[in-house]
Chain A
Amino acid sequence: MTNRNITFMTAINEAMAQAMRKDENVILIGTDVAGGAEVDHLVHDDGRYDDAFGGVFGLSKGLVTEFGRERVIDTPIAEHGYFSAAVGAAATGLRPIAELMFNDFVGFALDPILNQGAKMRYMFGGKAKIPLTVRTVHGAGAGAAAQHSQTLYGMFGAIPGVKVVVPSNPYDAKGLMLAAIEEDNLVVFSEDKMLYGMKGDVPEDYYTIEIGKANVVRSGEELTIVAIGKMVQVAEEVANILAKDDISTEVIDLRTVAPWDQETVLESVKKTGRLIVIDESNPHNNTATDIASVVADQAFDYLDGPIKTVCAPNTPVPFATNLEQAYIPNAAKVLKVAEELIVDLKKEPMI
């Protein structure tokens, strides 16, 4: 098994390509997922085609060339229509990957996801499977303003019948994407656009990462930080800073937002007694509040301090770069709330 240092985006592309090679029922559908291949105005005088762009970020570049327009389907900007088509295709035997270009557009695609895709298996007594993967993009930091920068995985995670995965690195992105495609239920695969350029070691082979299982990326004894997606980097930064004060932090990459891994989180909190959850969602009714609620209930007698959540503020994502940066949870914000939890562990006060 060969490891290559490749980007997050390439890892997802590779996963889709390997799945499509392995199973001819896997198809790609979405606005601009092919991106112009074999379109007349792209034909050069010598008869050669320019490679298709492959989606708004170029993530699916090359797939249409390999698998053709039968399996890589460009649609009009009509999410309700093509998501309904994707749910129907999933119910009748294909394993579609449908792309919602930005999760902010969910309103147009919601009925097929909320009322059809998430309900059919249940309402048809288990006779219909919906092996649909919804690829979408979340996250602030790109200067894309309030309608293209939201973090909405928690919204999908609130729907029974929907699984939601949020990868934090290239390795996880490939493994979780392949697991999502293999899954017989609707999976929302939510990618943080700020991670697209992140590089990491990724095996060339086909592999999956179990959905519903969190990853303890750093083990520690005194504080648990649960983080989602790119917030895992913030958690690790905080853990490094606290280590200078001899405070031992356990960092858990949640990987799956729904159903999140209660066993791993509870086990960790029972060990450390202290919990901070970092979630870039707006602060109410999100994954962090859900984790806080379950831990307060299930691990009450093990808590040695209040459960803290570090989230975005209760506002739209600002467009101005300085305000946008102030909006996103960072290490300074986490250290500020950590102070109350660890003050009794430290010899010197934190600056």
Chain B
Amino acid sequence: MQGTIVMPKLGMTMKEGTIVEWYKEIGDPVAKGEAVLMISSDKLNQDIEAPIDGMLLARNGEVDDELEVGAVIGVVGAKGSVVPEIEKNASAPTVTAAEISKTTDQQSTVEKSSESKSARIFITPLARRMAAENELDIQSIKGTGGNGRITKQDVLRAIAELPKEEAAVAADTVKTRTKVGEGLTPMRKAIAQNMRNSLEQSAQLTLHRKVTADSLLDFQKLLAKEIESNAIDARLTLTVFLAKATVLALQSLKKMNATYAEGRLTEFDEVHLGIATSLENGLVVPVIQNAHQMTISQLAKEMKTVSEAARNGTADPGLLTGSTFTITNLGATGIEYFTPILNAPETGILGVGALQDELTLTEDGSVKVSKKIPLSLTFDHQILDGADAAQFLGSLSSIIESPFRLVL
């Protein structure tokens, strides 16, 4: 019996992984579940375990080789057993699907074939030709013909739904997109592709607004004392309060808590909040799932957990996808206003700048020092208009200025 070690898919967007380190040499005994090598995806590193007890029979790549998801990385089997095909290609950086099916055991072969069956797209010859001429991805077209077939009508509909500019430049971008990030580390490459995709696929506009934070800061101090006395293991940073305020504002404007991709707008009741987190060599967006169900202290704890996991590279892949809105805080760097790029396919991202001291005129005519937070809201103008975005910033500001609403 032999078992293959296959490049896993660690997230929705992962297409290939890089071998970081081999823990085992060919011929080393391995136990089922024992780590054989470490791979890195665009977002994190992960140990890959032996599927069965035995001996490492083949290694199909060296450190820094990139292999496609599903490619065979190695083979584990009984000592002395013959490795078909793969042994010859042991040093080849990639393995074809045919070779995988030869080396995988029967069960996984069955999985492969059923997977390919469900992925089969029915499309008429005419529709296929039209899609090719218009550089459309047929996977993104819904078939309404007989047997669920994609027909000419469906392709025409897809063309009509393309943003005009995109339709015009489709040819160029499709060709260049594959090269975006070439030669970079997996994470840098992912960032490059995501940023490019975001700017290509949406109409981004940023609104700026200043909000008075005096009440919020007082409220923060007040709560901090409470928390300390209750010995909760989390810091109540300003970001936590802003996150809570954002969740509340999002629930009053669902269009901002949405994704828009391939012509489909999806608005969410749940808020899964992405928190842009900078790392030494890049950027990730860990996600706080169901942030709308959390109290301030729960949010504080969860933010601490996910950002630590992200920084240490130990985040579960599920933790890095599925956000419905993102907050990015550049306050620590002294930046006031900026133009955040949408975390596609989301329709909004909130940028938080550094606290500013300002002189303001009070109601009784005297001058006082006031703390202001500069906010930068980027939104997808395809879906939202300036008035919607202004309304969102307005409701966010009123919550920040009346912070008791955060605990109502």
Contact = CB atoms under 8 A, between A and B. Distances in A.
Interface of A: 273, 300-306, 339-341, 343-345
A340 B148 CA distance: 10
Contacts of A340: 145-147
A340 B143 CA distance: 13
6 contacts: A302-B126, A303-B125, A304-B127, A304-B151, A305-B151, A341-B146
Given A273-B126, A273-B152, 6 more contacts: A301-B129, A305-B146, A341-B146, A343-B145, A344-B144, A344-B154
A305 B146 CA distance: 8
Contacts of A341: 145-146
B149 interface: yes
Contacts of B147: 340
B126 A304 contact: yes
B125 A302 contact: yes
A315 B144 CA distance: 35
Contact of B149 (A302, A305, A339, A345): A305
Contacts of B145: 304-305, 340-341, 343-344
B128 to A, nearest CB: 8
Contacts of B391: none
Contacts of B151: 304-305, 344
B146 A343 contact: yes
Nearest to A345: B153
Contact of A339 (B124, B146, B152): B146
Interface string B105-149: 000000000000000000011110100000000000000111101
B122 to A, nearest CB: 11
B126 A344 contact: no
B146 A273 contact: no
Nearest to A296: B125
A300 B153 CA distance: 17
Contacts of B146: 305-306, 339-341, 343-344
A169 to B, nearest CB: 33
Contact of B124 (A303, A343, A345): A303
Interface string B226-260: 00000000000000000000000000000000000
A299 to B, nearest CB: 9
A341 B144 CA distance: 11
Contacts of A273: 124, 126, 152
B142 to A, nearest CB: 11
Contacts of A305: 124, 145-146, 149, 151
Contacts of A304: 124-127, 145, 151-152
B183 to A, nearest CB: 38
A301 B149 CA distance: 15
Contacts of B149: 305
A339 B154 CA distance: 17
B22 to A, nearest CB: 49
B154 A300 contact: no
A341 B146 CA distance: 6
Contacts of A344: 144-146, 151, 153-154
A302 B125 CA distance: 7
Please list the 9 inter-chain residue pairs (A to B) with the smallest Cβ-Cβ separation, ordered nearest first: A340-B146, A304-B126, A344-B144, A344-B145, A304-B152, A304-B124, A344-B153, A344-B151, A303-B125
A343 B125 contact: no
Contacts of B124: 273, 303-305
A220 to B, nearest CB: 15
A304 B126 CA distance: 5
A273 B152 CA distance: 9
Contacts of A302: 125-126
Contacts of A306: 146
A344 B141 CA distance: 14
A303 B150 CA distance: 12
Contacts of B144: 343-344
A333 to B, nearest CB: 16
B357 to A, nearest CB: 63
A304 B143 CA distance: 12
Nearest to A341: B146
B161 to A, nearest CB: 16
Nearest to B126: A304
A176 B124 CA distance: 38
Contacts of B126: 273, 301-304
B341 to A, nearest CB: 38
A25 B327 CA distance: 97
A301 B133 CA distance: 12
A274 to B, nearest CB: 9
A339 B149 CA distance: 13
A302 to B, nearest CB: 5
B125 A301 contact: yes
Interface string B140-183: 00001111010111100000000000000000000000000000
A232 to B, nearest CB: 25
A224 to B, nearest CB: 13
Nearest to B152: A304
A319 B153 CA distance: 45
A340 B127 CA distance: 16
A228 to B, nearest CB: 25
